[in-house]
Chains A and B, each alone.
Chain A
Amino acid sequence: NAGVTQTPKFRVLKTGQSMTLLCAQDMNHEYMYWYRQDPGMGLRLIHYSVGEGTTAKGEVPDGYNVSRLKKQNFLLGLESAAPSQTSVYFCASSWVPYNEQFFGPGTRLTVL
Chain B
Amino acid sequence: GENVEQHPSTLSVQEGDSAVIKCTYSDSASNYFPWYKQELGKRPQLIIDIRSNVGEKKDQRIAVTLNKTAKHFSLHITETQPEDSAVYFCAASIPGAGSYQLTFGKGTKLSVIP
Residues of A with Cβ closer than 8 Å to B?
A: 31, 40-45, 48, 50, 56, 58-59, 90, 97-98, 100-101, 103-106
Contact = CB atoms under 8 A, between A and B. Distances in A.
A43 B46 contact: no
B106 interface: yes
Interface residues of B, number: 25
B100 A48 contact: yes
Interface string B90-101: 010100001011
Contact of B44 (A58, A97, A98, A103): A103
B43 A104 contact: yes
B110 to A, nearest CB: 15
A40 B45 contact: no
29 contacts: A31-B100, A40-B9, A40-B106, A40-B107, A41-B106, A42-B104, A42-B105, A42-B106, A42-B107, A43-B91, A44-B104, A48-B101, A50-B98, A56-B98, A58-B101, A59-B103, A90-B43, A90-B44, A97-B100, A98-B32, A98-B51, A98-B100, A100-B34, A100-B46, A101-B34, A101-B46, A103-B44, A103-B45, A106-B43
Contacts of A59: 1, 101, 103
Contact of B104 (A43, A50, A104, A105): A43
Given A42-B107, A43-B89, A105 B43 contact: yes
Given A40-B106, A43-B89, A106-B43, A100 B101 contact: no
A68 B51 CA distance: 29
Contacts of B1: 59
The residue among A31, A101, A104, A105 with the most chain B CB atoms within 10 A of its own CB is A101
List 8 A-B pairs, minimum CB-CB distance, nearest first: A97-B100, A98-B32, A103-B43, A42-B104, A42-B106, A43-B104, A100-B46, A103-B44
B11 interface: no
Contacts of A58: 101
A18 B49 CA distance: 38
